[in-house]
Amino acid sequence: MTSTAEQSYAYADLPRLMGLMTGDEKHGPAATSTLDALWVLYDRVLRVGPERVGDPERDRFLLSKGHGPMAYYAVLAARGFLPVAWLPGFGSYDSPLGHHPDRLLVPGAEIGSGSLGHGLPIAVGMALGLRAQGLDEPRVWVLTGDAELDEGSNHEAIAYAGPAGLERLHTVVIDNSSASHARPGGIAARFVAAGWSATTVDGRDHEALYAAFTAPHPGRPRVVVAQVEPKFA
């Protein structure tokens, strides 16, 4: 669970925080589609906080859907990882908050992201690395978009993680109907076929998200498909 920021923020404050970020952002829908899942994770699920960014026992959260990071920055600010005063500078030349997150500049960011298809393979490697070090408590979470699953790197990551029994690995797929290729049975069925525990929920329903995020899945990685409104609705 995260620690409370110096000023307490609630979910209702997030639209205002996102509104502080202006400029040439071209991926507004990509950001807003992730807002509820991010909030539930950081508010109720992830064992992370500003004081634990270097703690080897912390959970790891990887934003693979990094090409629309406004909601991510707003949530990090609300949870005290970075100053709210940074938000109005979003995307400017000298701001640490770029259009793609940079792990060297954004407190709490585990990876640099934005290129489609990178996050899930990195998360698989991270889960394997933690296992090799005997770190059994940290969980690895990665948030990806449905369109990212068109990338071949994700096919390999999904196929490997199930048989490897990476039960500390969790994937959240934001489904806003932007994928190019239909999948028989839906997104979750693809993961189930590879040995994952999977469920599909309303990506705006916080209680449904929380229940899906915390459901037990012994011996298997977990995927939660969070369905939101279509990108171009």
| Tens digit of each residue's pLDDT (9 = 90 or more) over 190-223 | 999 999 999 999 999 999 999 999 999 999 999 9
- Give the residue ranges of DSSP H helices in 52-106: 70-78
Q: Tokens for 38?
A: 């991010």
Is the confidence at residue 185, as pLDDT, over 90? Answer: no
d(CA 161, CA 194): 8
Whether the predicted pLDDT of 3 surpasses 60: no
Q: Which helix (H) or strand (E) holds 61?
A: strand 60-63
Average the pLDDT over 154-166 and give the result.
Answer: 96
The C-alpha atoms of residue 228 and residue 33 are separated, in whole angstroms, by 7
φ/ψ region of 16 (left if φ > 0, alpha if ψ in -120 to 50, else beta) reads alpha
* Residue pLDDT, tens place only, 96-126: 999 999 999 999 999 998 778 899 999 999 9
pLDDT of residue 2: 40
- For the ranges 83-97, 118-132, 170-184, the lowest mean pLDDT is seen at 170-184
What is the reported pLDDT for 25?
62
Shortest CA distance to 62 belongs to which of 94, 103, 27?
103
- Averaged pLDDT score across all residues of the chain: 91
Burial of 182 (0-12, 13-18, 19+ CB in 10 A): exposed
Q: How confident is the model at residue 158 (pLDDT cuts 50, 70, 90)?
A: very high
Q: How far is CA 57 from the centre of its chain?
A: 19
pLDDT at 30: 76
Read off φ and ψ for residue 12, nearest 5 degrees. -65, -20
So what's the pLDDT on residue 1?
42
pLDDT in tens, 45-92: 999 999 999 999 999 999 999 888 999 999 999 999 999 999 999 999
CB neighbour class for 134 (10 Å; exposed up to 12, middle 13-18, buried from 19)? exposed
Do 73 and 83 form a contact (C-beta atoms < 8 A)? no
**pLDDT bracket for residue 180 (50, 70, 90):** low
Buried b (16+ CB within 10 A) or exposed e, 85-123: ebbebbeeeeebbbbebeeeebebbbbbbbebbbbbbbb
Answer with the residue of higher pLDDT: 6 or 103: 103
Q: Which of 4-8, 33-37, 167-171, 180-184 has the lowest mean pLDDT?
A: 4-8
pLDDT of residue 195: 97
